[in-house]
Amino acid sequence: MITLHRLGHRDEPFLLNPDLVAMVEAHPDTVITLTTHARLVVAETPAEVTGAIRSWRAAILSDALHGPEGLAAGADHRVDQP
């Protein structure tokens, strides 16, 4: 989840599932359109929103590859070894 703020409510953050983001636009305020067709107007810039999404996705991949239960840890154990 990424943390964002509704426009005009900087002291009230909310969490958004980045998998639901379909489009990020500037009109001049940042408008996020979700896959559900809902729209959110946020205080962050489009660059900040896309940066947060990239960081979130990179963290997910990193955890999967390097975490204790990730793919890299499982790759060391072959089925054909005694």
- Model pLDDT, residue 68: 59
Label residue 32 left, alpha or beta by phi (over 0 means left) and psi (-120 to 50 means alpha). beta
| Residue position matching structure tokens 């239960």 | 69
- Model pLDDT, residue 46: 98
Q: In DSSP terms, which residues pair with 26 in a beta bridge? A: 30
What DSSP designation does 79 have?
T
Tens place of pLDDT per residue across the chain (82 aa):
999 999 999 999 999 999 999 999 998 999 999 999 999 999 999 999 999 999 999 999 988 888 756 554 444 444 444 4
- Model pLDDT, residue 69: 61
The contacts found for 67-70 with CB under 8 angstroms, 24 or more apart, are none
Q: Output the CA torsion sign for 69, 72, 74, 77.
A: negative
Tell me the two tokens of residue 10: 């900087």
- Model pLDDT, residue 66: 83
Predicted TM-score (pTM) of the model is 0.77
